[in-house]
């Protein structure tokens, strides 16, 4: 037997140790493990045709994401973190934050009962029973929230629950910036038209 082959397990083990140490140092340096980059940031919401959660047969397309900045919240009844975040989404909706819900890989009756019992923060509730739009968005699991500008462009992706801390620190400043941009663009368009 070749003596060099005996060193292969040792080399593999050392490579794993180095990768582990690099990841630990990244987390210690303040990298946020819940922030997953998305190849879709800066791109339009993928094309889709999905039914309304409450009204089967009523379909929506990606044009619903145009006109005003909003959040796209991916959620499911099987997701305990979604349950924890839901009350805060109701608070945001009452404050005027525009949210579209994407019910992801769920059962329609359970999802409808959830919203009837816990309140419905969504302007529109999309039903993605087979998870195809979620897959196109690169969703790893629920909850995930995408910040979308008035042109239907994904500007930010948040993995995990939306809560007062991450809303105040990250999401709200971005949301307000997109609102200001949309207002400025509308004012310029009106000025050109007159």
Beta bridge partners of 66: 151
Total count of residues recorded for the chain: 194
Distance (Å) of CA 13 to CA 6, 8, 18, 19, 118: 12, 9, 9, 10, 49
Average pLDDT of span 107-122: 98
20-29, 102-111, 160-169, 180-189: the lowest-pLDDT one: 20-29
Per residue in 123-138, pLDDT (tens digit) is 999 999 999 999 999 9
Q: How far apart are CA 148 and CA 170, in angstroms?
A: 14
- pLDDT range class, residue 29, cuts 50, 70, 90: very low
Q: Which residue has the higher pLDDT, 154 or 193?
A: 154
Q: What's the chain's average pLDDT?
A: 88
C-alpha dihedral sign at 52, 55, 56, 61:
negative
Query: Which strands make up the sheet holding 59-61, listed edge to edge?
Result: 59-61, 49-52, 124-128, 99-104, 70-75, 144-148, 154-159
Asked if the model's pLDDT at residue 43 lies above 80, the reply is yes
Quote the longest CA-to-CA distance of the chain. 86
Per residue in 53-110, pLDDT (tens digit) is 999 999 999 999 999 999 999 999 999 999 999 999 999 999 999 999 999 999 999 9
Domains in the chain, start-ordered, CATH in brackets?
Answer: 46-193 (3.40.30.10)
Asked if the model's pLDDT at residue 5 lies above 90, the reply is no
Q: Which residue has the higher pLDDT, 162 or 25?
A: 162
Query: If 0-12 CB within 10 Å is exposed, 13-18 middle and 19+ buried, where does residue 154 land?
Result: buried
pTM of the model: 0.79
φ, ψ of residue 41 to 5 degrees: the values are -60, 125
């Amino acid at each position: 037997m070749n003596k060099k082959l005996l060193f292969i397990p040792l080399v593999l083990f050392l490579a794993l140790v180095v990768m582990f140490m690099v990841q630990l140092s990244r987390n210690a340096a303040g990298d946020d493990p819940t922030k997953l980059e998305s190849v879709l940031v800066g791109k339009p919401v993928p094309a889709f045709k999905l039914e309304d959660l409450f009204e089967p047969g009523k379909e929506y397309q990606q044009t619903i994401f145009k006109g005003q900045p909003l959040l796209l919240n991916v959620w499911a009844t099987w997701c305990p973190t979604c349950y924890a975040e839901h009350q805060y989404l109701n608070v945001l909706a009452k404050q005027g934050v525009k949210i579209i819900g994407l019910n992801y890989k769920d059962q329609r009756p359970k999802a409808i009962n959830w919203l009837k019992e816990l309140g419905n923060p969504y302007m529109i509730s999309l039903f993605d029973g087979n998870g195809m739009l979620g897959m196109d968005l690169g969703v790893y699991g629920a909850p995930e929230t995408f910040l979308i500008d008035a042109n239907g462009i994904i500007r930010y992706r948040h993995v995990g629950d939306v809560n007062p801390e991450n809303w105040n620190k990250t999401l709200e400043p971005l949301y307000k910036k997109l609102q200001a941009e949309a207002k400025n663009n509308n004012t310029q368009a009106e000025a050109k038209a007159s």
